[in-house]
Structures are given as C-alpha cells and as structure tokens.
Structure 1
C-alpha cells in the first residue's frame, strides 16, 4: 500500500517542514561559507522540506557556490527548485536586473551570478509551480563601503523582485517565499499569495521570511501559526519575521523549534505537520 494512504484513500502525510534565511551563506561573524560549510550548517535540522531565502548561485561574493544545491545535499533532499528573481549581484548600484522568476533545479543549474529563493524536498514532489510577486518602489537604508573611496557610508538599497515556489506532495502543498522589506508591499504580496493558494487542492503550509511581524501574516491569510517564536536577529531575536503557517485547515503542528544555525542572520524555524 502506498505511503500516505489507507485502503486506497490518500491522506495528508506527516512532514517536518522548516524555513531559514541564509543571507547568501554569511556566518554570524561575517565570512561566507563554502559548499561543505553550507551542507554542515543545515545537516542537523532533520527536515523533510526546507524553504530557503537569500540564496546565491555563481556569485563572486559567495565563492561561486550553487548554494541551493549545497543546502539540498545537507538535508539529503531528493529534489529541489530555486526561483531566480535577480540576475547579477544585488547591490545599491542596481547592477542587477529582474530575472523572471525562473525555476531551476538539479538538471537546470543556470548561468550565474543569480539570486533568489529555493525549496528543498526529501519527499517525492508531484508538481512544482512558481508565482511572480513583483517588487515595490521602497528603498532600504544599508551601510556599506563606497567602491570609489573604500569608506563606509549609507546607501539606499532598492527592493528586488519577489517570488513564491510551491511543491505539491500528494495531498499537501508547501509554498516557500520571501516578501518585500517594505511592509505595505509585503502585505500586497501576501494577499496575492492568498489568492494563489486558494486554488491549490488540500491544505497548504506557507514557509518563509515574510518580513511581517508576529501574528499579522496569519490574520491576513486566515491561517494558523505553526510556530510562535521570535526569529530575528538570530543571536538575540526580538521579532518573528519568519513564519510557518497552515492555510486551509486540516493540519496540526508539533515539536516546533527556533534554532540558531552557523549561517544566516535569522533563526531557522521547524515544525512537524500532521493531519488535524
């Protein structure tokens, strides 16, 4: 009898789901991890499905590593997809351009430098899909070196395009995303996600860095929070920006955790999802 069925009737599987913002592979101390370091950083999470944000591929700043592939190897993922949202290196000088989003995976690595999100799965995926969430017009003040003088100064960083990736695992779908840093744009993107998710069969888990605090995303989505824990900044979190949400009912969360990893500036959130 196939897994996830009783007398031929399919049911929602028990799945350990996680999300983490890896900040292009940067460690809390600043240096960027290589492929082996990335594999080791997530190896202890023991998740079936992992949503990852701020993922590089072929970027000089991150040793040209295909970070989605390295992270997939770290959790033992049988399949994965990355949604490329930016071609080039995101920076204040806008030396990048929107890139789709374009889905890539084990058999379609793509030419770098690229940047976006990824969804990794140890379970068989019946169908992959992607949604373009667009970008806002807001700019974020960031501090960094001036390439002309080497002096540290403040820059106005433009918002980049955002996307969502969905993996249908039988009767359960997991959706990964990373929303805008501008709250009004993030709310608009979340409402678009709600309409997209409404057309999916069965219950859905939304996983990602939503850049919206506390219980707001769950209220806007009419969803159930599966993890309630501050996640940012990782060393001493004050606010929950990362979320695992059950959309559509029929799901129960257990063994929720917020874990500090040796990569990224957010804590990783994980939870075991079972039928309610």
Structure 2
C-alpha cells in the first residue's frame, strides 16, 4: 500500500508562479498513491484558475472516494472567514485539506482547530515574514482496505511553535475515537522527533521534505498510532520526489499491511 502526503501550495510553481491543470494532474498521478492526503488545497480560487484541486487529484489517482474539507472561506493571507458549519461556503472560494482513496470510504469525520492568537515569523521564498495564523481542519476517513478497515486522517497544523503541539494532541485525541489501525498524514510544521514525542505515534518514514529545492527538515509526516498498529511495519520504504510545483516535496511511504498477528495458542492443527 502506498501512502502519500503533500502540501501542494495550491498547485503553484515557484518557477513561473502559475497553476496549471495538466502539470498538477500528472504530478499527482506519478505518486501512484493508494491513499493521498493533500494540504494547502484550493477550491474555486481565482489564483488557481477556479480549479477543484481535490477532484483533479482524485481523477489523476484513479480514486473511488475523495473529499475536501475547507479550513476557511476566502483566500488565506487576504480576506477570509471561519466556517460556521461544515457545509458553509460551498459555492465560495475556499482553502483546506483533502483525502483521496482508491478504496471505498465507510465514513468521513471532520475536526476543526483554532489558529494561534498571535503573529509568528515564518520562512518563505524570499526570507522570513510575520504572518497571522489561520483556522485549521482535520479530515479523517474510515477506509475499507483490502485487509480490513483502517483510519486515515490528514491535516495542516499551525506554524506557531507550541500551539501546533497542542493541536497535534487534540488530533490524536479525536482520532482515538475511530477504528484502528490509525494513520495521520500531513504537514505538521514540526520535525520528526517532535512529532513523535508530542503524538506518541510512530513515524513510518524519516525524510526531509522542506524546502523543496534543497530539503533540510521534515515537516511532512506519515504517523502510525502505536495502539492497534501491530500489523504494520516499523518503518516503510520512503520517497520524496521532486515535483514541478510547491515549496514542499511529497512524502510517499510504501508499507506492507497484513492481517492482525495471531495470538499465542490460537492456531488450530
């Protein structure tokens, strides 16, 4: 099974500043992901040609199920508002995260997180800048996999240190209510060691993903809940391919999932 997480920067290339439908579609198809979590996803935004990037990613992946969960209505960094409820702003430009699956989804679950109340410096192409934080969202799916159901979630946490740690604890608490095994795919805005310590979950890959042109730190993660994850390997085979857009590289992890291990004394002869 191939799992992938990718902060797509709404599909924008750092070389030409453009968002191109075919470039986006081909890059997602090349990931060959069975389950794909995307962050910084646009829907209906002028800056990305009014594309529905989630639907485009689902088409490129040959998915049977997909969903977009907006974190805000409007354009980040410009004018936006928080959602009143999950169906708010359906016909308005929005920005959030999405999940794409080649396997059927039994149920979808959305958890909303508040942004930090303070501005914080963040590194971007061109140098550091002070930014106001935004509301965040967690999108989870209970998937009917070939070896049974499992839970996958994706999110993009705050760039404000300590605040994102608190958000990650809330994510873990929310996901524990869903069936195991449980996986979290996303841009957590913290390095691998911190993500593992804060969550108590196990990283399935340790590879630098940011910045895309010369990765030095891993901000993007595939984490496995240690509870109920015995049938999954300690670490998967990881790739961070170069893609012609975004300031992050995707993280692709291939794992071999099998049936739960037998308990001693349960074999019959």
Bin the TM-score by the shorter chain.
0.7 to 0.9
The answer for unaligned runs of 5 or more in structure 1 is 1-14, 145-151
Does the 8 A contact of 2:73 with 2:92 survive in 1? Answer: yes
Distance 1:184 1:87, change over 3 A: same
Please state how far the C-alpha of 1:39 moved relative to its aligned partner.
Answer: 0.7
Please state how far the C-alpha of 1:240 moved relative to its aligned partner.
Answer: 0.5
Matches of 1:143 and 1:62 in 2, distance apart? 22
Distance 1:36 1:156, change over 3 A: same
2:205 matches 1:221: no
Residue 61 of structure 2 is matched in structure 1 by 75
Q: How many pairs were matched up?
A: 249
SS of equivalent residue, structure 1 residue 191:
helix
Residue 271 of structure 1 is matched in structure 2 by 253
TM-score w.r.t. structure 2 length? 0.86
Please state how far the C-alpha of 1:100 moved relative to its aligned partner.
Answer: 4.8
2:116 matches 1:136: yes
Please state how far the C-alpha of 1:47 moved relative to its aligned partner.
Answer: 0.6
The answer for unaligned runs of 5 or more in structure 2 is 261-269
Residue 188 of structure 1 is matched in structure 2 by 166
Alignment of 1:96-107 (within 5 A): 96-100=80-84, 102=86
Please state how far the C-alpha of 1:56 moved relative to its aligned partner.
Answer: 0.6
Residue 102 of structure 2 is matched in structure 1 by 122
Matches of 1:238 and 1:178 in 2, distance apart? 19
2:135 matches 1:161: yes
Matches of 1:270 and 1:198 in 2, distance apart? 24
The structure 1 segments of at least 4 consecutive aligned residues displaced by more than 4 Å after TM superposition are 141-144, 152-155
TM-score w.r.t. structure 1 length? 0.84
Matches of 2:247 and 2:87 in 1, distance apart? 25
Alignment of 1:1-16 (within 5 A): 15-16=1-2
Please state how far the C-alpha of 1:32 moved relative to its aligned partner.
Answer: 2.4
